[in-house]
Structure 1
Amino acid sequence: MASKPVNRPLSPHLSIWKWGPHMTVSIAHRVTGSGMATVGSILLVAWLASAAAGEEAYGVFRGLFTTADGGLNIVGYVLGIGLTLSFFQHMASGVRHLVLDTGAGYELKRNKMGAQATFAFSILATLAFWAFLTVGK
C-alpha cells in the first residue's frame, strides 16, 4: 500500500537568503577557530621538535621568524599579526554568541551592529596590541 506524499516545507536554499554580517561572523568564527588550532598545533610541534633536536635545529626554527638582531622578519609579522587578528575575532564572536545565548540581540538592527562590532573590535584590538609591542623598539 503506497502512502500519500507528505507536503512538507522545503529547506531554504542559500540563494533565498540575503547575505548579512551575521553570516560572515559565523563563518569567520569557524575559520579562525580551526585556523588557530591548526597553525598553533603545527608551530608547537615544530618548536618542540627543533628544541629537542638541538641548538642548531632550534636556531633554524627561530631564523624562520626572526632577524639576526632578534626582531621579527616578514614571516614572523604575518604569522603573529594573523594569529592575533584571528584570536581577537574569535574572542569577539564568542562574546557575541554568549550575549545571543541570553536571548538578547536578536533584533535585526542590533544583530547586524553586533556582528559588525566584532570585526571593528578585532581590527582595533590587533592594532593596539601590535602598537604596544612595537612602541619600545
Structure 2
Amino acid sequence: MPDVRDALIIGKRSDGSLVRRPLSPHLQIYKPQVSTVTSILNRATGIAISVGLILMVWWLVAAATGPKAFASAQGFIGSPIGLIMMFGWTVALWYHFCAGIRHLVWDAGYGYGVKTSHQTALITVAATVVLTVISWIIGLAVWL
C-alpha cells in the first residue's frame, strides 16, 4: 500500500522524469546550532523589550498622574514579581543591544566564519551577563 506522503515528495523534472524531493527537516531531527539559537534569542528579546516597555510606560504615566498612582506602580515594580520582570527586561535589553552590535559587525562584512561566529556568540552572552550585573548593582545601590 503506498504511503499518502509520497504524493508530496514525488515531483517531475523539466524533462518529465520523476524525482523524489527531500522533505524539510523536522524538529525531532534538527539539532540547534549557535547561530540559530542566538538569532531566535535576538528576536525573542526584542519582543520581551516591547512587553517590558509597557511596564515602564505604566510607571511613567503613573508618575505623571499623581502620588497615589505612582505609589501603586512603584509598589508593583518593587514587589518580587515586578523585580523578576524588571530583571528579565534588563537581560533582554542588554542581550538585544549586544546582539545588535554583533549584527552591525556582520553588516560591515566581518565575522562570518564559523569559529568567529561562535566566539562572538559567547562574547554576546558574556557581555549580557556582565552588563546586567553591573546595571543591577548600580540600580540597587541607588534604590536602597
Report the TM range for the smaller structure's normalisation: 0.7 to 0.9
Which residue is 2:96 aligned to?
A: 90
Counterparts of 1:83 and 1:45, CA distance in 2: 15
Which residue is 1:70 aligned to?
A: none
Counterparts of 1:65 and 1:17, CA distance in 2: 40
Query: 33, 39, 60: which is aligned to 1:26?
Result: 39
8 Å contact kept, 1:21–1:116: no
8 Å contact kept, 1:64–1:76: yes
TM-score, reference length from structure 1: 0.74
Counterparts of 1:77 and 1:100, CA distance in 2: 34
TM-score, reference length from structure 2: 0.71
| 1:80 Cα deviation after fit | 2.3
Counterparts of 1:11 and 1:49, CA distance in 2: 53
Query: 107, 110, 113: which is aligned to 2:116?
Result: 110
* Worse overlay, 8-17 or 21-30: 8-17
8 Å contact kept, 1:89–1:122: yes
Query: 24, 27, 44: which is aligned to 2:57?
Result: 44
Which residue is 1:75 aligned to?
A: 81
Deviations 1:50-73 (A, max 9, x none): 753x5333322221123xxxxxx4
Distance change >3 Å, CA 43–CA 132, structure 1 → 2: closer
Query: 62, 67, 77: which is aligned to 1:65?
Result: 77
Counterparts of 2:23 and 2:103, CA distance in 1: 24
Residue 48 of structure 2 is aligned to residue 35 of structure 1 = yes
Counterparts of 1:64 and 1:81, CA distance in 2: 14
Identity of aligned residues (%): 25
Counterparts of 1:75 and 1:127, CA distance in 2: 18
Amino acid at match of 1:48: V
Counting matched residue pairs gives: 127
8 Å contact kept, 2:95–2:128: yes
8 Å contact kept, 1:36–1:83: yes
Aligned-partner SS, 2:12: coil
